[in-house]
Structure 1
Amino acid sequence: MADGQQLGRLLLIQIGDGGSPTETFTNLCGLKTRSFNMSASEIDTTIPSCTNPGGPVQKTSRPGISNRTFSGSGNFVSSAASDIFMNHVRAAEAFNAKVIVPGDGTYTGSWMVTDFSFSGDVEPNMEFSATFVAADVLSFTAEA
């Protein structure tokens, strides 16, 4: 692989098992497509010139609320880790997870599932899709 390029399959979400004092994180298995979005709302700070109000106006902004979202879909794989994950989904509760972004780093903290669905046809494997959003402030560890 060329220098600097990263494999998309290494973009992962790991679900925490809730263990104490040491929590174990396990890959959410079965994902074939995945994406991680970082965005912020835009706060308009534009002010027309006080000395030349009829002149051109330069739009200006500052960052507002930041948003971190992970989404993925693929084959549903039944396991102890998926049981833990599905219990969180059914209870509509926040849980600890890590999103590992190759070439960037790891976003760790409380996440929640805002959208989950199962799907399937007659012959292929049952599939699922899920959207995760940060439920609290995340910590970031840059890739070494």
Structure 2
Amino acid sequence: MADGQQLGRLLLIKIGDGADPEVFTNLCGLKTRSFNMSATEVDTTIPDCTNPGNPVQKTSRPGISSRTFTGSGNFVSSTVMDIFMNHIRATSSFNAQVIVPGDGTYAGEWFVTDFTFNGDVEPNLEFSATFTAGDILTFTPRV
């Protein structure tokens, strides 16, 4: 692998067990995953008050930031999956870490906004989930 390139399979979400001290474990089975960082756009455009007929230049500033992790793959029965599923059934938030190779770790409170089981007759049971930040996340740059 060339310098600087990162493996997609190392984009991970680790679920906290709620203990003190908290232990974070990889959510196993994910085959596809993505991490999105975005912000809304707040329009700050003001037409020229002196010459309202002049062209108007659109201007903006960043608004609300959003952090979302999505993943899908095989459902693997485990202790961490049991903890994760309990949060989904209870619609509760939990501590997690998103590890982004080459960038760093986004840690804090998350909750699942969408969860789906799927499967056919023969293949393994699969799942997909969307995780949204439930509070301000702590970012730790990679070392």
TM-score (normalised: structure 2): 0.98
Separation in structure 2 between the aligned mates of residue 4 and residue 52 of structure 1, nearest angstrom: 51
Separation in structure 1 between the aligned mates of residue 55 and residue 104 of structure 2, nearest angstrom: 42
Report whether the alignment pairs 1:122 with 2:134. Answer: no
Listed as ranges, the gaps of 5+ residues in structure 1 are none
Separation in structure 1 between the aligned mates of residue 61 and residue 92 of structure 2, nearest angstrom: 32
Listed as ranges, the gaps of 5+ residues in structure 2 are none
Report whether the alignment pairs 1:33 with 2:38. Answer: no
Secondary structure in structure 2 of the residue aligned to 1:4: coil
* CA shift for structure 1 position 49: 1.3
Separation in structure 2 between the aligned mates of residue 83 and residue 35 of structure 1, nearest angstrom: 22
Secondary structure in structure 2 of the residue aligned to 1:70: strand
For residue 65 of structure 2, what is the aligned residue in structure 1?
Answer: 66
Secondary structure in structure 2 of the residue aligned to 1:88: helix
Aligned 1:101-112 pairs, distance under 5 A:
101-112=100-111
Matched residue pairs, number? Answer: 143
Offset from partner CA, 1:10-41 (integer Å, 9 cap, x none): 00000000011x10000000000000000011
For residue 139 of structure 1, what is the aligned residue in structure 2?
Answer: 138
* CA shift for structure 1 position 2: 1.0
Report whether the alignment pairs 1:90 with 2:89. Answer: yes
For residue 19 of structure 1, what is the aligned residue in structure 2?
Answer: 19
Offset from partner CA, 1:49-72 (integer Å, 9 cap, x none): 122211111100011111000000
Separation in structure 2 between the aligned mates of residue 75 and residue 116 of structure 1, nearest angstrom: 13
For residue 3 of structure 1, what is the aligned residue in structure 2?
Answer: 3
Offset from partner CA, 1:103-134 (integer Å, 9 cap, x none): 11100000000000101111110000000000
TM-score (normalised: structure 1): 0.98
For residue 52 of structure 2, what is the aligned residue in structure 1?
Answer: 53
Separation in structure 2 between the aligned mates of residue 49 and residue 2 of structure 1, nearest angstrom: 51
Separation in structure 2 between the aligned mates of residue 140 and residue 3 of structure 1, nearest angstrom: 24
Separation in structure 2 between the aligned mates of residue 141 and residue 118 of structure 1, nearest angstrom: 32
- 1:127 alignment partner AA: E
